[in-house]
Amino acid sequence: MTESKREIKDVVYLMALQGLNYVAPLIVFPYLMMVLGAEKFGYIGFSLSVNQYLMLLVDFGFNLSATKKIAQAKDNPDEINKIFSATLWAKMGLLLISFIILLIFAFLIPRFQIYSTTLLIMFLMVVGNAFSFIWLFQGLGKIRIISIINIISKFSILPLTFIFVKSSNDYNVAAFIQSFVYILGSLITIGVLLHKKLITNWFTIIGFEIKKELKAAYPIFLSNAATSIYTALFVVILGYYSTPVEVGKYAAAEKIMRGFCFLIFTPISQAFYPKISSLSVKSPMKALDLTKKILIFIIGIMLLLFILLFFFSTPIMHFLGKDYEGTDTIFKIMSIAPLFIALGGVLGQFGLLAIGNDKDKKNFQKAYFIAAFVALISVFYFVPTYLSTGASLALLITEFTVFIGMLWFNRKNLFSLE
């Protein structure tokens, strides 16, 4: 790991930053859960899940495909400008499509019309995220900048929650504050890009280049779409079969679980993905060896998180309030999920995408398609009867399936080569 000192420092730095970055949500979300109650927090959770779907459409896999291309073209400013411009135009087109989809979803499906106002407010998240340019900073090895921007935006906006959200009637105010964080972050990011002149050609329209970027990101988009079946669609399906109260319980437990999980996994992914992408060209064996070391670290840290979530599930439930009775069972079911999420993420992003070839990209996609199939069977089997508890069971089964799929497609590299 001595050759990865910079990345290790980045991980430590990013974990410290992400720690601050997650302090706000881990304080604000429990506050919202208590003040709004399970029903109104269900409005937030449902709308968040729908807009996460649209965010996924606009991202379209560029956070991995464009990041890898920029990392490999780091010394070629003209190529970086070309990739940036094509990706930006593609994302703007997808943003328009996502807004049309939201209008159809919010106003033409009777079951979901009660959420329409909150859905529209939280679409600001999709707009802001479209111009976050994480993929550019990550590819250039400047992920610290974007992390600091995220912290500034969250800590300057989210405290307004405590000032303006005082009762369950303020749920749309809470939705606006949560969403405007993304807008502020994107405005600061654009300012940094202009000031540092990291990009000198923003809006060159090259139809062929746009098509090329879409084609490169498409397999990742399909995989992400399959992933979203259980990261976002579960909440939508739960909202169809049950009440906002059940949605609120499930959303609360999942938010806390994923918050702790990504506090650890995201810095590792952001710091090492460009490094492993670059090494995969120069020295594939070194890239593979580094991936194995990261896997060992992930296993240890996620087992500690499992212990925390499993044995402290009841105190967490009591802290959230009486509206969340029964969520201790959901927490216990979800407690082992972070291990599968992180291992599947490392094996997929590093083992198949960063190191792999076109065949590995297809295997990455295939693993998520299989998981999506399992997710649909699980959620429609468990949710109608067991509601939020059933959704958590379906989530655990699906995350385990992803992990097994990624492990299977990495078996040759992990177990045959030394």
* Element at 121 (helix H, strand E): helix 116-130
Average pLDDT score over the chain: 80
CB of 80 closer than 8 Å to CB of 70: yes
Q: What integer pLDDT is reported at residue 418 of this predicted model?
A: 42
Specify the number of domains making up the chain. 1
The whole-number pLDDT of residue 417 equals 42
Token pair of 203, please? 């809006």
pLDDT in tens, 82-98: 888 888 888 888 899 99
Burial class (CB in 10 A: 0-12, 13-18, 19+), 322: exposed
- The beta-carbon contacts of 84-89 under 8 Å, at least 24 apart in sequence, are 84/136, 84/199, 84/201, 84/202, 85/201, 85/202, 85/203, 85/204, 85/205, 85/206, 85/209, 86/206, 86/209, 86/210, 86/212, 86/213, 87/62, 87/135, 87/213, 88/202, 88/203, 89/203, 89/205, 89/210
pTM: 0.66
406/409 Cα distance (integer angstroms) = 5
pLDDT at 161: 86
Query: Residue 396: what pLDDT?
Result: 92
Range of the domain at 107: 2-416
In the chain, which stretches have pLDDT less than 70? 1-26, 201-209, 217-232, 356, 413-418
